[in-house]
Structures are given as C-alpha cells and as structure tokens.
C-alpha cells in the first residue's frame, strides 16, 4: 500500500497542477476588438482590478429575430494600459486581448484581459473612416 501511495500522490499532484494551469493560466485565444469605450473602472474588495466594457458596432442576438447590444467586457492588469483607457471613455478604441478559460481574482473578473491599446480615436473620426 505504501508503494502505491508513493507513486499515486506525486502523479496526482502533477495532474492537479496541469489542470489548474490549463484552467486559469493557459491562453485560449488572442485577438483584437474595436468599439466605443462605455466605461472603465477600478473595483474589488480584496484585489483591486481594472474592469471595462466596450460597445461594438452592430447587433448580435442568440435567438433569431431578437436584438442585443454587442458588448465586450474585459479586465486590465497593467497600470500603464489602465491610465490610457481612463482618459479614453466615450471614444473609439482598438484593443488587443488574451482570453483565458476562467478568471483569477488578482487578474480581474473577466476571462478577457487587455494587453495593449492599439488606437484611440474620437467618435466622429471613427465613423468617417474611408471604406476601401
């Protein structure tokens, strides 16, 4: 029985570590989203994190015939990125993000974490972009 436990416990710990890494730290996807920055705030009880919402142009609905606003809720880890977004409320922004399977409290409340601000434009300029 002792021989079995000497083998099973380390294997179990390695499997548990892999599951935790896969669930909370593995980057599932990366991409870019653009839209009007609706709000950006710092909140939390123990871990103060930056949270925001981007409203994208157009409508998307899970049911045929229905309308629903297309929102992108995100978190930000970096203070440098947060200071840029704090000054960009109500403007058109383009953000690069990473998506995780599940959030962790010190990273933010969202599975989407913004890693870079690509562009910030006034709302009027974004609507007047030339079409190619």
Residue 9 tokens read as 């416990």
Quick: pLDDT tens for 22-47.
999 999 899 999 999 999 999 988 99
How many whole angstroms separate alpha carbon 44 and alpha carbon 120?
A: 26
pLDDT on residue 127: 54
pTM, entire model: 0.77
Mean pLDDT of the chain: 86
Q: Is the pLDDT of residue 16 over 90?
A: yes
Q: Is the pLDDT of residue 129 over 60?
A: no
* DSSP H or E run through 18: helix 2-24
DSSP secondary structure string for all residues of the chain? -HHHHHHHHHHHHHHHHHHHHHHHTSEEEEEEEEEEEEEEEEE-SSS-EEEEEEEEEEE--SSTT---EEEEEEEE--HHHHHHHHTTTTSEEEEEEEEESS--TTT-SSSEEEEEEEEEE-HHHHHTPPP-
- The total number of residues shown for the chain amounts to 132
Q: Is the pLDDT of residue 114 over 70?
A: yes
- CATH code for 27-127? 2.40.50
**What share of the chain in percent tops pLDDT 90?**
62
Quick: pLDDT tens for 90-102.
899 999 999 999 9
Using 50, 70 and 90 to split pLDDT, how confident is the model at 128?
A: low
**What share of the chain in percent tops pLDDT 70?**
83
């Amino acid at each position: 029985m002792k021989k079995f436990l000497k083998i099973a416990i380390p294997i179990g710990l390695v499997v548990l570590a892999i599951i935790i890494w896969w669930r909370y730290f593995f980057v599932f996807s990366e991409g870019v989203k653009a839209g009007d920055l609706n709000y950006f705030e710092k909140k939390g009880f123990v871990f103060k994190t930056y949270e925001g919402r981007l409203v994208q142009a157009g409508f998307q609905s899970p049911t045929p015939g229905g309308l629903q606003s297309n929102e992108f809720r995100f978190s930000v880890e970096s203070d440098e990125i947060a200071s840029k977004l704090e000054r960009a409320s109500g403007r058109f922004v383009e953000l690069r993000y990473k998506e995780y399977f599940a959030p962790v409290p010190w990273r933010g409340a969202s599975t989407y974490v913004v890693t870079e601000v690509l562009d910030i434009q006034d709302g009027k300029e974004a609507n007047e972009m030339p079409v190619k």
